Amino acid sequence: MFTEEAWKSQEYALSQLDADIWQLRLPLPYALDHVNVYLIEGDDGWTFVDTGLNISAARALWKTTLETLEIEPGKVKQIVLTHLHPDHFGLAGWLQDRLSTPETQVPVYISLYESQRFVRFWGNINKEAWYEGLHRFFRLSGIEEERAHSITNKSRSTGTKTRPHPTFSAIESQGTLQMGNRTWEIIHAPGHADGQMIFYDKADRLFLSGDQILMKITPNIGFWNDSERGVLQRYLDSLKELKNYEVRVGYPGHKWLVGDWQQRIEEMFVHHDERLDTTLNVVKQKTDITALEVSQAVFRLNELNPQQSSFAIAETLAHLDLLEGTKTIQREEVNGVWRYTVI
Ligand SMILES: [Zn+2]
């Protein structure tokens, strides 16, 4: 579970990591083809951390898992979601329906920030104005009209794999949370999702690290149409804070377990430092460059599908945004397109 080879040799499905914690690896129909969710057993019932996407292959694996571990309605204390990306919360409603009893509904906890984002996003997702905003955002990035249109249209199909939506209970991203027989410190870990919560069990030096710390891949840190400025800075600040924790092992939302916590964080700093350097060098080479042009120089954009290229652009914008924040470059809007110049 600690090395790429060991991890690859395992099928999608259930592995017991501790006496009381199981990892369930569920399939995703994307380039990143799986998500890890966790089941924690306790005297007062089970806690599930994240749920997977609502696709039949994932539902089938959940059914087998519930049978194997003899988890019936009434035995689940709570479902806790690190953040509200579809691959993490998509089956929360389905599980809540399935595992509640007529007397007690299983609570689905999310952070206050994510609950507000949920209302903003899902409350607007079917409204034309939302897509107009998204389209305008892609145009601002320098994407040509036709491609902006196709990427915007692509995003209309997102969301069907998250229904039914659960009834959420919002909590503050601070203090502690009892999951299983363990007491976990709740840590606010912004950047990838600004309301992400991750969890630390000090007694066992164990982190449930969500999408904040991943092996091999760096979490997508993107600046989107509804993002607040400074998203990459918030992520780097979070990494700095997380580096101070003493960690035996991190249980992440994707890929294999994080064995060397400090080293992995160091690698992610190096990655973003290098990416910032590359981004700045590209901006230096052309005045009034667009985010799309920067993105094309940094990524092999032509090899990416519309969803991947929108993520690449959002990542580029996050790096440009940080360079603006440090007054290294400046952005000007000219005819509905952002143009960047070195200061
Ligand atoms: Zn995520």
The CA 221 to ligand 1 mean position distance, Å, reads 9
What distance in angstroms lies between residue 334's CA and the mean position of ligand 1's atoms? 33
Burial of 29 (0-12, 13-18, 19+ CB in 10 A): exposed
Neighbours of 283 (CB within 10 A): 23
Taking the centre of ligand 1 as the mean of its atom positions, its distance from the CA of residue 85, in whole angstroms, is 5
pLDDT band at 107 (very low <50, low <70, confident <90, very high): very high
Distance from the CA of 217 to the center of ligand 1, in angstroms? 12
Indicate whether 159 pLDDT > 70.
no
User: Nearest Cα to 53, choosing from 29, 69, 76?
Assistant: 29
Q: Which residue has the higher pLDDT, 120 or 50?
A: 50
CA 80 to ligand 1 centroid distance, Å: 14
The answer on pLDDT for 158 being more than 70 is no
pLDDT on residue 340: 98
Which has more confidence, 308 or 270? 270
For ligand 1, the distance from its centroid to the CA atom of residue 133, given in whole angstroms, is 22
Residues sharing a CB contact under 8 Å with residue 28, sequence separation 6 or more, in sequence order: 34, 35, 52, 53, 55, 87
Instruction: Compute, in angstroms, the gap from residue 62 CA to the centroid of ligand 1.
Output: 20
Residue 284 Cα to ligand 1 middle (Å) = 32
Give residue 120's pLDDT band: very low, low, confident or very high (50, 70, 90). Answer: confident
What distance in angstroms lies between residue 341's CA and the mean position of ligand 1's atoms? Answer: 31
* Ligand 1 centroid to residue 125 C-alpha, Å: 18
- Rounded mean pLDDT, 42-49: 98
Between residues 4 and 277, which one has the greater pLDDT?
Answer: 277
Centre of ligand 1 from the C-alpha of residue 127, in Å: 24
Tell me whether residue 24 is exposed, middle or buried, using C-beta atoms within 10 angstroms of its C-beta: 0 to 12, 13 to 18, 19 or more: buried
Rounded to whole angstroms, the Cα distance separating 83 from 332 reads 33
Confidence of residue 323 (pLDDT cuts 50, 70, 90): very high
Domain ranges of the chain: 4-120+158-269
User: Quick one: pLDDT at residue 193?
Assistant: 96
User: Would you call the peptide bond into 190 cis, given omega within 30 degrees of 0 as the criterion?
Assistant: no
Query: What pLDDT, on a 0 to 100 scale, did the predictor assign at position 255?
Result: 96
Assign domain 4-120+158-269 one CATH number from 3.30.230.10, 3.40.50.300, 3.60.15.10, 1.10.10.10: 3.60.15.10
Model pLDDT, residue 43: 98
Q: Which of 2-6, 39-43, 233-237, 312-316 has the lowest mean pLDDT?
A: 2-6
| Confidence bin at 157 (pLDDT 50/70/90) | low
Q: pLDDT by residue (tens digit) across 170-184?
A: 999 999 999 999 999
Measured between alpha carbons, how far apart are the two ends of the chain, in Å? 47
How remote is the CA of residue 211 from the centroid of ligand 1, in Å? 5
